Structure 1
Amino acid sequence: MAAIDRAVEAAHGALGRRQNADGHWVFELEADATIPAEYVLLEHYLDRIDPALQARIGVYLRRIQGAHGGWPLYHGGRFDISASVKAYFALKAIGDDIDAPHMARARAAILDHGGAERSNVFTRFQLALFGEVPWHATPAMPVELMLLPRKALFSVWNMSYWSRTVVAPLLVLAALRPRAVNPRGVHVPELFVTPPERIRDWIRGPYRSPLGRVFKYVDKVLRPAERMIPEKTRRRAIAAAVDFIEPRLNGVDGLGAIYPAMANTVMMYRALGVPDSDPRAATAWESVRGLLVEHGDEAYCQPCVSPIWDTGLAGHAMIEAASGPQGVRPAETKRTLAAAAAWLRDRQILDVKGDWAINCPDVPPGGWAFQYRNDHYPDVDDTAVVGMLLHREGDPASEEAIARARLWIIGMQSSNGGWGAFDIDNNMDFLNHIPFADHGALLDPPTADVTARCISFLAQLGHAEDRPVIERGLAFLRSDQEPEGCWFGRWGTNYIYGTWSVLCAYNAAGVSRDDPSVRRAVDWLRAVQREDGGWGEDCASYEGAAPGRYTESLPSQTAWAVLGLMAAGLRDDPAVARGMAYLTRTQKPDGEWDEDPYNAVGFPKVFYLRYHGYRQFFPLLALARYRNLASSNTRQVAYGF
């Protein structure tokens, strides 16, 4: 145990040093080339070019170019046409010579994969804004959608929060059809196999079901019909979009606190003729700039920031490390956690009935967002994690916050027993088959990982009257288990993440370790352990690759696997011991771990994420729990997380 003790102490110190003075943690959140490339193009759209910054983004984009010549969606991933088109366009805008070797390789790869005409919907919108493709290259999405009532099938209220906030300003742009300033006159005709003006059919699949083909014909009918909409109605619809957006502008945190919505808002104001000096436009631009990360000669733009999530996860790891007979600096950690808890309490959303209330108006607010501020869109997953941390931290000052979070979580349970991330019963799947939704993530249906966290939170609180809610959630999880015994991870990569989450929920809810569902999950985790004792999973598992497999072991995924096995009562299992050996062996002298592969997902097959904090939170939590359970007679994990 000496090696474990040393590892826990070193990791505890490393994570503690990263805490901000006001008590919170925030780590970088990195996506693929698309967001920094879009930011470059946004500066050219507006003619607000920062040459020094763009040069640093160029260094970043060149570094992450794949061996295949294009850009992948995650570390080591395969070529992606849309990311590659945007990255090439951005580098050309920065000033890269199109005959430079890296540009020639990228262009050849793009053309070999069908050219820019085969890029996804959001990329084609970007190209339309620069005049590279005609507007009919994008699906028909009339701004009059903003006038539809909630019960209408194609109402924006039937979309997820992220879709709603991205779509509203985008519909205004599609209606006004502005053109980028593009002061350097940068264009990319060389990326098209067929000149755009000769392309007649831009919507060519692939279709996920026969519904896709049906909606393609609906799109054809809608285009000429859209031209018949009275100008008065169009003006009213644009006003409705603006009326939706402006109460949700969210200060310097931005609309929806996510880059695409924020950038679309900036462009929308410019298209509407709002001066850049107007407080609305100025703050929207400031919100976008706040997502930039600069390291020496490199820079990139984050899709959003994750301080609530990072603080909740860091807090769980720190409190575990300080617990038990061998707890690391418990008095110091108590002060650390008190500061984190106070910071979190101040950010609970109590005075805004967000979009979630459309479908459950009688539920009182009580959630936390993912970002610093995003009051219209509290996050169910974050709320459960923060609620469990505040409960375990134990300050009486948190009792009211926990009680409010409990009521909100209960009120957000969907009719099938599961929980989505931001909305209740947001599951009209047919919407994912319209041409606009080629990313397949227009909705926010209940998922196993979020459901598991909610069950863990409610079970940890231990209110007897919540048992029916928990049982409905458990029934959802049982129905969602994969044939292999694992669970899909909607928000973390992937089946290892989902399986860990559910095993924690089962443990907290008192599901027997001998339950067939638990045994199948344990057998699967053992089966995918790697020879070096760790676990790893490729983001390609979202694209059909084998669940739980990768070319290397990763600290975060190894931690998830052993935490899941310990939740199933297997602290003394040889597989867990081998996982602990991997974690101690790969820890660096400074107490941290390295992890380059991506470990989370925004939209499967379309958008992936790398949480820079995961390599710190989860190994520390796993090592500390392993150590703490050594002194437990039952080897029973006492908490839901």
Structure 2
Amino acid sequence: MLTTLSPDLAELDDAIGRAQERLAAEQQPDGHYVYELEADATIPAEYVLLEHFLDRIDPELEARIGVYLRAIQGNSPQNPGGWPLFHDGAMDISASVKAYFALKAIGDDPEAPHMRRARAAILARGGAERTNVFTRIQLALYGAVPWRACPVMPVEIMLLPGWFPITMWKISYWSRTVIAPLLVLMTERPVARNPRDVRIDELFVTPPEQVRDYIRGPYKSWMGNAFKALDTVLRPLERHFPSRSRKRAIQAAIDFITPRLNGEDGLGGIYPAMANAVMMFDTLGYAPDHPDYAIAWASVHKLVTDAAARIPGGIYVQPCLSPVWDTSLAAHALAEAAGAQDAHVAAACDWLIPRQVLDVKGDWAYRKPDAPPGGWAFQYNNAYYPDVDDTAVVGMLLDRAGDPAHREAVERARLWILGMQSKSGGWGAFDSDNEFDYLNHIPFADHGALLDPPTADVAARCVSFLAQLGHPEDRPAIARGVDYLRREQKPDGSWFGRWGTNYIYGTWSALCALNAAGLPHDSPMIRRAAEWLIARQREDGGWGEDCESYAHAPPGEYHESLPSQTAWALLGLMAAGMAGHPSVARGIDWLQSAQDEDGSWREKPYNAVGFPRVFYLRYHGYPRFFPLLALARFRNLARGNSARVACGF
């Protein structure tokens, strides 16, 4: 038999049936899925401040955002009053300053207990002068800090040629869309209307005008010191830049932004870019009813989300929307549980097909002009920025569904994925060969996420997709991808998870790829990874990982088991040919025991990341998709008496 410690298959059928029924019921009438995508306090706080910048205040909406912000404030020994970047995390000073500022703008009394706790926590961490660059820019827009608190970022960057060391085409898509309107704001230096004249002087240890140096180390390398020196030299020179080139640069920013506004789905499909575009149009004197201004404002509003089911009366603002990702993952889980020809899977495929980007050569074409378009975006629409990871997952789903009508879409996706492979053999999320590491050392990039280099998890998905299709001519690309994964494997056997938390996610992704590529299950790379996963299993049979593993916490460990991480670990072990291992049976038992009566699973800890150590995400759909996928795959392997997973995902 396949298993040496086999869960009761009748009970397993029941668990799968309930999960499948719950997931199927959550499908939208047109076939797609979309779940909440939650970040930290930063974006809802920024939304409040945006309303006060424009003097377009919606008191009822802001009051409900206030409910949300108060509900997620820290109240523990490790975080006595600030706001964390993820559930149960330590205080982050930048998120805390923005949340305090927003609550004060909403009307909270600074002497209220929650505000006093927040203020004390902020001052104990060095005060608002020690916030990150993006926060200091926000404060400068309100006159809360002088503009010298911000790095020099002249709008003339928009005019620099491709060969120059610092250009818009050497940074990631998200940086490009955020920075283009921000450069205009940093040049024009508008002052927020701030009709209630809200100030936060009380959050500074040193009065803002008396802070000698806002831009200081510790720097990550000698390059940080060099770029700081360059910033010091440029600061007095910037005011003397010719007005003609400045006007040309501002127009270049507008010309870049306008075709990428993306309707109500917004510039880049991400909140910071959308909000910056709104402020830019306002600063440049556009009327609120100007089509570009109006659609930018509408795109921001589309991200407002009701959180009342979890926080009575609460509302927050999502960083972006994730329907293509959610739909493809949900359909994979349903295909595993009910078969690839299930009606819900077919409806999801039908919704996905017309969203393939075929008529726009987006920013990715700057480095890959010969690659034919064929990707899918993460959001409802984002034609300039299709997502490599989404495209591989959607491609595997369409191939798996087996409908001949999907073949053309799958082939276009295949050609685009092949065209997007980087020289290293890996794949980035949105761009190729975006590895100008020195740019993460400029003063503006204190978040360390200015680039989109290849990563193991995205590369693994691409290898899985190409291997699942099985075209002989793709073998060299697959081999280069496998070599990339071999180089990226950590000494302990794990892989870093750039887009999901964290080493468990990365290791599952890589094991699926290696299995799909046909590596023997006893190969050293697979064996070491499987041993690492088994060693991280918790006493109760599940797995969990702390978001702090992106910093200094041990990889693959947490104080509780979590449904998503447990499912990833199980899927990884099954891809490694270990469906019969006792650890897998124990993990399956844990997932069954953790299932709610309604067939779903719950997890409050965050399960993904936007930028490690800076911006974390909680996909509310993950506990729906991945446990079902793991349980159904185990059942299918047990009943098929096979150790080889047929699907690349």
Q: Does 1:197 align with 2:213?
A: no
Counterpart of 1:314 in structure 2 is: 330
Distance of 1:480 and 1:570 partners within structure 2: 23
TM-score (norm 1): 0.98
Q: Which residue, out of 258, 263, 267, partners 2:279?
A: 267
1:349-382 deviation line (CA, Å, top 9, x unaligned): 0000000000010111000000000000000000
Q: Does 1:73 align with 2:89?
A: no
Q: Does 1:629 align with 2:645?
A: no
Counterpart of 2:240 in structure 1 is: 228
Conservation of the 8 A alpha-carbon contact between 2:577 and 2:643: yes
Counterpart of 2:61 in structure 1 is: 53
| Partner secondary structure for residue 507 of structure 1 | helix
Distance of 1:295 and 1:156 partners within structure 2: 36
Distance of 1:343 and 1:396 partners within structure 2: 16
Runs of 4+ in 1 over 4 A off after TM superposition: none
Q: Which residue, out of 541, 546, 551, partners 1:538?
A: 546
Q: Does 1:170 align with 2:182?
A: yes
Kindly state the Cα deviation for residue 230 of structure 1 after the two structures are TM-superposed: 0.7
Q: Does 1:300 align with 2:316?
A: yes
Counterpart of 2:385 in structure 1 is: 377
Q: Which residue, out of 149, 167, 173, partners 1:155?
A: 167
Distance of 2:319 and 2:640 partners within structure 1: 42
Counterpart of 2:291 in structure 1 is: 279
Counterpart of 2:429 in structure 1 is: 421
Where does the alignment leave 5 or more consecutive residues of structure 2 unmatched? 1-8
Distance of 2:406 and 2:445 partners within structure 1: 41
Which shifted more, 557-566 or 391-400? 391-400
Q: Does 1:144 align with 2:152?
A: no
1:465-521 deviation line (CA, Å, top 9, x unaligned): 100000000000000001111000000000000000000000000011111111110
Conservation of the 8 A alpha-carbon contact between 2:34 and 2:326: yes
Distance of 2:537 and 2:346 partners within structure 1: 37
Distance of 2:95 and 2:222 partners within structure 1: 27
Kindly state the Cα deviation for residue 295 of structure 1 after the two structures are TM-superposed: 3.3
Kindly state the Cα deviation for residue 205 of structure 1 after the two structures are TM-superposed: 2.0
Q: Does 1:550 align with 2:558?
A: yes
Counterpart of 2:616 in structure 1 is: 608
1:400-446 deviation line (CA, Å, top 9, x unaligned): 00000000000000000000000000000000000000000000000
Counterpart of 1:578 in structure 2 is: 586
Which shifted more, 202-211 or 474-483? 202-211
Q: Which residue, out of 16, 20, 24, partners 1:16?
A: 24
Distance of 1:355 and 1:544 partners within structure 2: 35
Kindly state the Cα deviation for residue 338 of structure 1 after the two structures are TM-superposed: 1.5
TM-score (norm 2): 0.97
Kindly state the Cα deviation for residue 635 of structure 1 after the two structures are TM-superposed: 2.0
Q: Which residue, out of 329, 342, 345, partners 1:334?
A: 342
| Partner secondary structure for residue 526 of structure 1 | helix
Which shifted more, 134-143 or 628-637? 628-637
Counterpart of 1:7 in structure 2 is: 15
| Partner secondary structure for residue 545 of structure 2 | coil
Kindly state the Cα deviation for residue 544 of structure 1 after the two structures are TM-superposed: 1.6
| Partner secondary structure for residue 315 of structure 2 | strand
Conservation of the 8 A alpha-carbon contact between 2:376 and 2:391: yes
Residue correspondence of structure 1 range 248-263 to structure 2 within 5 A: 248-263=260-275
Kindly state the Cα deviation for residue 632 of structure 1 after the two structures are TM-superposed: 1.8
Counterpart of 1:184 in structure 2 is: 196
State the AA in 1 paired with 2:33: W
Conservation of the 8 A alpha-carbon contact between 2:424 and 2:484: yes
Distance of 1:537 and 1:616 partners within structure 2: 18
| Partner secondary structure for residue 25 of structure 1 | coil
Counterpart of 1:327 in structure 2 is: none
Distance of 2:164 and 2:12 partners within structure 1: 57
| Partner secondary structure for residue 355 of structure 2 | coil
| Partner secondary structure for residue 268 of structure 1 | helix
Q: Does 1:502 align with 2:510?
A: yes
Kindly state the Cα deviation for residue 634 of structure 1 after the two structures are TM-superposed: 2.5
Identity %, equivalent residues = 68
Kindly state the Cα deviation for residue 228 of structure 1 after the two structures are TM-superposed: 1.4
Distance of 2:218 and 2:134 partners within structure 1: 16
Kindly state the Cα deviation for residue 245 of structure 1 after the two structures are TM-superposed: 0.3
- Between Structure 1 and Structure 2, how many residues are aligned? 633
Where does the alignment leave 5 or more consecutive residues of structure 1 unmatched? 324-329
Residue correspondence of structure 1 range 472-511 to structure 2 within 5 A: 472-511=480-519
Kindly state the Cα deviation for residue 66 of structure 1 after the two structures are TM-superposed: 0.7
Conservation of the 8 A alpha-carbon contact between 2:73 and 2:84: yes
Distance of 1:210 and 1:528 partners within structure 2: 37
Kindly state the Cα deviation for residue 532 of structure 1 after the two structures are TM-superposed: 0.7
Counterpart of 2:231 in structure 1 is: 219
Distance of 2:247 and 2:148 partners within structure 1: 21
